[in-house]
Structure 1
Amino acid sequence: MNPFSVFKTALATTALAGALTGTVLAGPALAEDPIKIGALYNVTGGMSSLDGPSLKGAELAAKQVNEAGGVLGREIELIAIDTRTDQQETAKAAQRALSEGVVAGIGQSDTTFVMAAAPLFQEEGVPFVTSGATHPELPQWVGDYFFMTPFGDDDQSYAIADYVVDTLDAKTAVVWTDQSMDFTKALSTFFIERLKARGGTVLAEDSFMMGDTDFSAQIARLKAVDPAPDVVFVSAIPTEAGLSVKQIREAGLTLPVVSGDGFDTDLVATTPGPELANDVYFSTHTYRGDDRPEVTAFIEAYKDEYGIEPENAFAPLGYDALMLVVEAIKRAGVAEPDAIRDELAKTMGHKGVTGEISYTRDSMVPPKPISVISVQGGEFNVETIWRP
């Protein structure tokens, strides 16, 4: 598959104004051209179970906007490119999207891949809104043309650490970290920080890498910890999340497995199977079990469009990311990158499917409620909502 294949979600496209003696006509004719927005997602590879639903959420938002008459009388056209869970492909995709004349970009559910794309948008003065990457320092690393749809890793790590202490009544943990990803390393750092602040103890730390399929060495070391820990915190992205749960349970270990939103994937249930997918707890974006009108409307629209329930919280995050850009264009009154950036920065009280989004912090990370989900018998259930 060509990684630069462009999937256009506009219901119709308007031809560019004709050329006269080799010059493209300017003026009213160009006002009818679609507004191009880049959508960079890993729809293949290890991140596909998060990014695939995110792209579908964004495509649904674009379709709804276009059916309602578009924005400023123009349709939204998503320039969607598969970045293949590969940093080099992500950088190439960002360059391709920018060359297509996008006025903004959205995408990516992981910090490592955002950092391969968003700085290129920053250099060109084109805003980029991540739908799912959660490192709280991203806005500072990238710059003032970068915006976050989700909460930060510090908040989600604090949420699951508080649940471990307050609800699971756990005081000790072993921490496993995928050392190949910025997201997973940050998640573990903040979890350890919060657990210690709450009086807990980390008995041991271990590591693995994205793509690992055999966790027997880590499991042997986990079994050797004495006294045995109350929980094991596994900081992983989806593929390794499912595999680690499966192998921990197959080894006869029954202690709770806890994590962050990298576990918000069906792989946590399907890879181990319902008999082994038990006593798993993770923090993630508020969506499951929420009866806000934004949530119920999104679920119905998603089911109508795709014939299935939204796979996870990353589907509404993709929807929210595109709608943040759309609302900024509406307020700006023009589809120009600088004006869109200025209006994005002013976002206050945006009623997203995944919660209200306001850029009130100096860090530009929106404070959002966080769900703690349990997995028992392969079934996902909301246990509590944590608020920053």
Structure 2
Amino acid sequence: MGTRPSESLVTPRTSVQIGALVPLTRPGWVEAGRHLLAGLELAVREVNDAGGVVGRPLELVVRDTAADPQRAAVAVDELAGLGVAALAGEYHSVVARAAAARADALGLPFLCSSAVLDALTEQPTEWVARLAPAQSHGWQIYADFLLSAGHSRVALAVEPSVYWAAGTRILRDHLAPRGGTVIELDMRALAPAAVCDELVDNRVTALLLLVGHPEPAVSIVKSVRRDQRLAEIMIGAPAGQPEFAEWATSLGDDSAAIPFLRYLPERLSPLGTRVETALRERLAEAPSFVAFEGYDTIAVLADVLRSHGADRARTAESWPHVAVEGTRGQIQFSRTPGISVWQWAWTPIQVVDRDPAKPDRFRILHASWESTEVPLPGPVRT
């Protein structure tokens, strides 16, 4: 690994600092950011209760990205200058991509918690690793779910974004060779009510929301649900909008039966169950999978720092040697074709929805390990 000016040891201090990138204000997805931060903070507290790392306490230095890539890049520069040992976090893929580019340029290790965009960096890098599954992997599983459920004519309500464009391409490339048809609806040109006419005219059986939350996602769902011509259509949200309580609050009964991707195992391990309980207490609500991603991020970084100290280069060199028990399984990183960063391959993946009979409960519809409809033990168990 080449030498860079920023690879020196962290300046001695009473704590070992980790920079945390989290969306905490609009237009960022604030609820996701709150859950991500809760997981990060809980893990830091537990690390410190157990004696810290290299004889010093662990400390989070939090920066709000507000879903702004430029703001994230500036934060990475600032945190690098403060001497953090590594970066953690981020939920939004386009923001994580900007952060990863700066981290790579500066020689600052970055363990990305939750963003899934395949091309997190333009070129392969040794400095960045990721816990969340790559978008191509998760969205192909979602496409398999669509086909298994009998949906071969699929409409996509799409807003402009690198992330949504990548999702569109993945779905089209996976469905088309299997007899599927994908129709794009440009939400810059269509009002939610006009979407309904397009769905009828194109005889689609499923509409996927590749749009922001709460708007226009909430308005689209309400329009489709109230159109009697579309009583049989399935609405889906592969990006996970229905995971959070805000979705159910905004839509009420309309929030149910909208399948989405979620990165949890069928059954949590004893560690996962214990962490779920602690996160529920910290959040005063059921923890999302994003909260578990935050916890696992610190679990990995703490293990690396204990083994190698706070030297940035040694941290980056350690990614292929990580073997850490996380809340959702054994975490190890590898090189995956088409993925530019060190990747946990693979996080457990489910397609789930909110139960129409009880919208605060999730049903597993499809999974990366097997198909099942067993109720999940969390995170919104009642």
Tell me if TM exceeds 0.5.
yes
TM-score, length-scaled by structure 2: 0.84
Q: Give the match for residue 22 of structure 1.
A: none
Contact 1:160 1:258 in 2 (8 A): no
Which residue type is aligned with residue 151 of structure 1? P
The separation in 2 between residues aligned to 1:246 and 1:355, in whole angstroms, is 37
Tell me the SS of whatever aligns to 1:109.
coil
Contact 2:320 2:332 in 1 (8 A): no
Q: Give the match for residue 171 of structure 2.
A: 191
Which residue type is aligned with residue 261 of structure 1? A
Which residue type is aligned with residue 174 of structure 2? R
Contact 2:97 2:121 in 1 (8 A): no
Q: Provide the aligned C-alpha RMSD in A.
A: 2.4
- 1:177 and 1:365, CA in 2 relative to 1: closer, same or farther beyond 3 A? farther
- Is 1:175 matched with 2:156? yes
Q: What do residues 97-119 of structure 1 show as CA deviations (whole Å, max 9, x unaligned)?
A: 22221110011112210122222
- Is 1:285 matched with 2:285? no
Give the drift of 1:124.
Answer: 1.6
Specify which of 294, 312, 316 is matched with residue 341 of structure 1: 316
Identity of aligned residues (%): 23
- 1:318 and 1:213, CA in 2 relative to 1: closer, same or farther beyond 3 A? farther
The separation in 2 between residues aligned to 1:303 and 1:268, in whole angstroms, is 18
Contact 1:157 1:194 in 2 (8 A): no
Give the drift of 1:52.
Answer: 1.6
Give the drift of 1:244.
Answer: 3.0
- 1:222 and 1:213, CA in 2 relative to 1: closer, same or farther beyond 3 A? closer
Q: Give the match for residue 214 of structure 2.
A: 239
Give the drift of 1:329.
Answer: 1.1
1:107-256 correspondence to structure 2 within 5 Å: 107-141=89-123, 143-166=125-148, 168-179=149-160, 181-202=161-182, 204-208=183-187, 215-225=192-202, 228-240=203-215, 241-252=217-228, 253-254=230-231, 255-256=233-234
1:20-59 correspondence to structure 2 within 5 Å: 33-45=14-26, 46-59=28-41
Q: Give the match for residue 8 of structure 1.
A: none
- Is 1:356 matched with 2:336? no
Q: Which structure 2 residue ranges, 5 or more long, are not aligned? A: 1-10, 371-382
Contact 2:159 2:186 in 1 (8 A): yes
- 1:106 and 1:208, CA in 2 relative to 1: closer, same or farther beyond 3 A? farther
The separation in 2 between residues aligned to 1:296 and 1:84, in whole angstroms, is 31
Q: Give the match for residue 303 of structure 1.
A: 280
Give the drift of 1:359.
Answer: 1.9
- With 289-298 and 70-79 compared, the bigger mean Cα shift is at 289-298
TM-score, length-scaled by structure 1: 0.82
Q: Give the match for residue 354 of structure 2.
A: 375
1:321-332 correspondence to structure 2 within 5 Å: 321-332=297-308
- 1:268 and 1:152, CA in 2 relative to 1: closer, same or farther beyond 3 A? same
Contact 2:268 2:328 in 1 (8 A): no
Give the drift of 1:75.
Answer: 0.6
Contact 1:106 1:321 in 2 (8 A): yes
Give the drift of 1:237.
Answer: 4.1
Which residue type is aligned with residue 278 of structure 2? A
Q: What do residues 162-221 of structure 1 show as CA deviations (whole Å, max 9, x unaligned)?
A: 11111x222211122221x3222212211222222332222x211236xx9952333332
The separation in 1 between residues aligned to 2:24 and 2:110, in whole angstroms, is 19
- 1:81 and 1:314, CA in 2 relative to 1: closer, same or farther beyond 3 A? same
Give the drift of 1:147.
Answer: 0.9
Give the drift of 1:355.
Answer: 3.5
**Number of residue pairs matched by the alignment:** 348
Which residue type is aligned with residue 352 of structure 1? G
Q: Give the match for residue 99 of structure 1.
A: 81
Which residue type is aligned with residue 41 of structure 1? V
Q: Give the match for residue 66 of structure 2.
A: 84
Q: Which structure 1 residue ranges, 5 or more long, are not aligned? A: 1-29
- With 193-202 and 122-131 compared, the bigger mean Cα shift is at 193-202
Give the drift of 1:317.
Answer: 0.7
Give the drift of 1:322.
Answer: 1.8
More RCO (CA 8 Å, sep 6+): 2
The separation in 2 between residues aligned to 1:141 and 1:109, in whole angstroms, is 21
The separation in 2 between residues aligned to 1:344 and 1:100, in whole angstroms, is 23
Which residue type is aligned with residue 138 of structure 1? L
Q: Give the match for residue 376 of structure 2.
A: none
Give the drift of 1:137.
Answer: 2.3
Tell me the SS of whatever aligns to 1:43.
coil
Contact 1:261 1:285 in 2 (8 A): no
Contact 1:238 1:262 in 2 (8 A): no
Give the drift of 1:343.
Answer: 1.1
Contact 1:286 1:371 in 2 (8 A): yes
